[in-house]
Amino acid sequence: MQKVISTDKAPSAIGPYSQAIEINNMVYTSGVIPVNPATGEIPEGVEAQANQAFQNLCNLVEASGSKVENIVKTTVFIKEMNDFGKINEIYKNYFKEPFPARSCVEVARLPKDVLLEIEAIAYK
């Protein structure tokens, strides 16, 4: 049986989807963007946006009853592949070895014209 995960410590869904779903002790998040959930503001610059998005993702995973260390896979969507190195530096502040498996894809456009979006799969 699936369970909807929702928290006010991550941006609310801006469409017909759940922030995350838990099924069989696995947590699947939707894409998380760098919106400050308290203010609705989007920070300027890729480093600030990466910090906000990764913090939002951590908050969402923790709201599920799991923890960041239990994330086994992430997918990062970035607007500009030239920001890959900057994003990696921020990523290392949130994820420790052994790092989750990860895909990183450059995309043409993201919701609210943010610079990156991240989704994850974690176990409980």
Q: Which residues are catalytic?
A: 104
> What is the distance in angstroms between the CA of the first residue and the CA of the last residue of the chain?
15
Cis upstream peptide for 98 (omega within 30°): yes
What are the tokens at 116? 């990156």
Q: Which residue has the tokens 């609310």?
A: 12
What are the tokens at 1? 């049986």
Phi, psi values for residue 96, rounded to 5° = -115, 165
